[in-house]
Structure 1
């Protein structure tokens, strides 16, 4: 019996000891990594912008009358000089005919006055008439010629007024909605607005940047931290409100040299080709302005960043081979690369795969990152940091 009790007690003690053993350590999660390094990256400034036509013409009435007909289709492209409206010309046509008759009468009077002068010229030489009579005839002839010139000018003005009854496009572009309809009275004195024409190929996109950031950019360029394009051209790319990108880049063509006193901003403007008419005047877009390149910047692949309400976070491998969560300040994203403004330093090892399986403090094991695709360099020519296994 003692032997049985002793054996039972030994089994109980062994079972208790085995239950106190530590659980096995978790297996490291295989991940791919990206080694952070300073490289030349695009200096990208993101700003909201508004599309504007390069030229706008307001078509207004230049004569007073009743609109007879609209001669164009609203919302279509029109050529310079194309008829848009016709105003009732009958009253002005009558005025033109009246002035034309006055001109004919004035020309007849002038011709008669010149004939009198020609008859008096030999007579005054023979003292058949007085010099005073000749001078009076000569003055009458000159007055008749001046009257002809005056009425000829009136006829030209009447011709212009008659021509204005056909309202034509002053520039080529897209004609908007008609502001008047047939039967409406338009006024020359009030300059009644009839429609607008906008040139939308190319178009302008206007931005406003804070004066402090413009000053910081100038200082960085002067210090050599940012290198501008050798042609001093600044490229701009647009994104529509639905997130799609406009395929054609534009370039900054205007930078104001004064600061708006109310907003404290500096106005910038870029010109974009618009052959297909995708960019519409008044539309708001998001712009990425490539103001040179940062000589020592940091960019990481897009898949390494997790976006949250507080901003972006990444997982890095700490000195113990474990995953550590780190917040980063994100700049712009260019061709699959997030530009990092702060939060990472050269030499940091960023995890770029299996992020959904990783928790802070979890052990990780880096696989051969070279087997993955190398991050594509930015389109401006900046090379992406190399990826390497750790």
Structure 2
């Protein structure tokens, strides 16, 4: 019975990156032997055990065999005679198919260390094609390691997988799990670029694929191409270290531009309204969490108005805050402003320009949140007002507060 540290922990240590989760593989042991040593079995599909002291996961060395299309179509075999090399052979990329023994010696049967040095993402074997999740994982690694390239043979294999319909069999939960993690990586644009090159983006999100090649007015978008703009916005999100809901909202903000009719070009008039149902459909398809879903729809609908708010008077800014439900959902409104700033700065040559709309609307909201609306309502009641009239008094107090502010 031998124990090895495997996968990401070995890779990240060689890259000089922080090691968080550690995966262990046990060779030459049976489930009964693991239980006898105090390990707790937790795996359902194949034997995985928790260490009695550290509670880290230890998996028995195993092989797998494709039995049906999609992510779940596998049969696993774990036994004492399964070798470490056989276990590593089932992994996705060579850089993830390395191990260290208990003395720290590297076991690298598939050239992962050389591919790390060459900065190449390469599949271990043709078994890569048996699991469509691996396309998503590779794209996520491209976002995490943006200076790595995809081996031509691996890209060709992924294209064949897409053509065979493997991506269509992916379950929504795994798609969202991988893509959401990719959005949080160092350069999210690389994930979309790899998926697009493999043909997978058109299957997973045709709403996003449609944006590439769609022109925009050069005065507002020096990068011109709507898809290129989207990639720049996502990388701006990473540069500003914004949270996941902001990144997902940024991903969805311009979907309507893929459906803009010719008479509304080149300014894409009305793309905001067209984008809302597209963002909703994408969220439903991927089963996106509520906070991300709601912000994406709000961003699609209101981002242009937020951009224009610097030229709004108090009445128009108040209507914008009302539509965004800003005083009841101030945290979400702040995330909307962050997403809009990423949109404004995700443009060629404009990456560092200021975005005064954000502090303007932040000041407006803080001013309104500080109002004593209870006193306003009480005064209205004392004056004999009821129902809608009290609401109008509150509205008038809010407008008066914004009118009293000094212009920024």
Q: Give the TM bin, normalised by the shorter chain.
A: under 0.3
- Which has the bigger relative contact order, CA under 8 A and spacing at least 6? 1
Identify the structure with the greater strand proportion: 1
Larger Rg: 1
Identify the structure with the greater helix proportion: 2
Q: Report the TM-score when normalising by structure 1.
A: 0.23
